[in-house]
Structure 1
Amino acid sequence: MENSMIFTIDSWYILVPFFIVILLLLIFRTFFRAKHSLWQFLLLTTFFVYFLCMIHLVFFPIEVNIGEYANLTPWYISINYIPILTIDLKTFLLNIIMMVPFGMYLPLLNQKVHSIKKAAFHGLLISLSFEIIQIVLKAALGNGRSTDINDLIANTLGAAVGFLLLKKLTKIDVLSGVVHKLNLDKET
């Protein structure tokens, strides 16, 4: 009889310990090594909370179906290569919304991201990473997530929209000062 497994991996078992480790590192760097200001600590903490939430939404729960319980459909069948024509509008809009904060965080975390082109490129890289990991999980564990070119488009667009939104908000005097305090590349 072949080895069979079927179980679910919930995000809390992985993401909560990861967050605790990251938070302890941030606290150490901020309060004991004076690498960051309190504002920068808040920026980094909120970014990691946001990023872990994004990972939760994109990957979890992970359904492991191996052996006798495996899905017999080949993993590459679940990849959607056709852009725009196969769009699920709700999913497309949710992917845009999910990446808007990412685009807003980018220039705060790295001053080299100073154009919409660079923000869109970083959004594309993160999205491509997510889609590749989804393919690997599908092939290795039988996870039910699909890979979709429309997700790449929506996520890239969301990062660009977030970048533009932050640029518009920084033109407001009060918010400009807050953004300057948050900027990770400035001296503490």
Structure 2
Amino acid sequence: MSIQYSISSPIVLGPLFVLVLLALMLHARVSKTRYTVRQYVSMLAFAIYMLGVMHFVFFPIDVNIGIYANQTPWYQSIQWIPLLTADAPSFLLNIVLFIPLGFMLPFIKSWIHSIRTAASAGLALSFLIEITQLLLRITLGNGRSTDLNDIIANTTGSVLGFVILNLFTKSSIGQRLLALWESPQGVSSKNMQ
């Protein structure tokens, strides 16, 4: 049996967005922790950002099975040599894609308070993305490749986002805006390293 079709992002991410909203509302109802409206806005903004990341890194998902399947073995689609095979525009776009992660995570998770933890979070998410892309390639014949350069670029973007936030929180404008915002996890220049 041969199958060939494409899955667009709204088909998956639309219902996923509704599930995220329902999960936030359910969490508000049953949780003993009470969040402010600002905290929910932060969580919702982060969820929308993550849906955007998923849109760019996974979709469209091309399903190619049977005679339509890519005949190149999946392990040949992995870019094993970092930096030497880097495509500069893709590398820069991956950095830009992950800058918001490093900037937003300290507002969502209090343990993100240093370059090391921001890098760890960026590395973990990037690794998860690359493994998922590899599994989609193996199971559905999707044309996305697994690339070590993406992991390096994404981690770099996460660190840059954290550094930008750190510089921002130390500026007078940043301190005034953060005081107005009353961040969910107490992000301030005092707890940034």
Map Cα deviations across residues 164-185 of structure 1 (whole Å, 9 max, x no partner): 1111111232123145x12246
d(CA) in 1 for partners of 2:109, 2:175: 21
Partner of 2:142: helix, strand, or coil? Answer: coil
Against the structure 1 CA distance between its residues 52 and 117, is the aligned structure 2 distance closer, same or farther, given a 3 Å change threshold? same
Residue 7 of structure 1 and its aligned partner are, at CA, apart by: 0.5
Map Cα deviations across residues 121-147 of structure 1 (whole Å, 9 max, x no partner): 110000000000011000111000011
Residue 66 of structure 1 and its aligned partner are, at CA, apart by: 0.3
Task: Return 5+ residue gaps in structure 2 as ranges.
Answer: 188-193
Residue of 4, 7, 14 corresponding to 1:6? 4
Which residue pairs with 1:159 in the alignment?
158
Task: Return 5+ residue gaps in structure 1 as ranges.
Answer: none
Give the counterpart letter for 2:19 in structure 1.
Answer: V
Q: Is the 8 A contact 1:110 1:185 kept in 2?
A: no
- When normalised by structure 1's length, the TM-score is 0.91
Q: Identity over aligned residues, as a percent?
A: 43
Residue of 15, 18, 26 corresponding to 1:17? 15
Q: Is the 8 A contact 1:71 1:142 kept in 2?
A: yes
Matched, 1:61 2:63: no
Which residue pairs with 1:38 in the alignment?
37
Map Cα deviations across residues 61-92 of structure 1 (whole Å, 9 max, x no partner): 00000011111111111100111111111000
Q: Is the 8 A contact 1:40 1:183 kept in 2?
A: yes
Map Cα deviations across residues 16-75 of structure 1 (whole Å, 9 max, x no partner): 111111112223444786721010011011100000000010000000000111111111
Partner of 2:93: helix, strand, or coil? Answer: helix
Partner of 1:114: helix, strand, or coil? Answer: coil
Residue of 169, 172, 175 corresponding to 1:173? 175
Count of paired positions: 183
Against the structure 1 CA distance between its residues 35 and 29, is the aligned structure 2 distance closer, same or farther, given a 3 Å change threshold? farther
Cα RMSD (Å): 1.7
Q: How does 1:1-188 map to 2 (within 5 A)?
A: 3-30=1-28, 35-171=34-170, 172-178=174-180, 181-184=182-185
d(CA) in 2 for partners of 1:79, 1:130: 13
d(CA) in 2 for partners of 1:27, 1:137: 31
Which residue pairs with 2:191 in the alignment?
none
d(CA) in 2 for partners of 1:136, 1:42: 33
Q: Is the 8 A contact 1:110 1:184 kept in 2?
A: yes
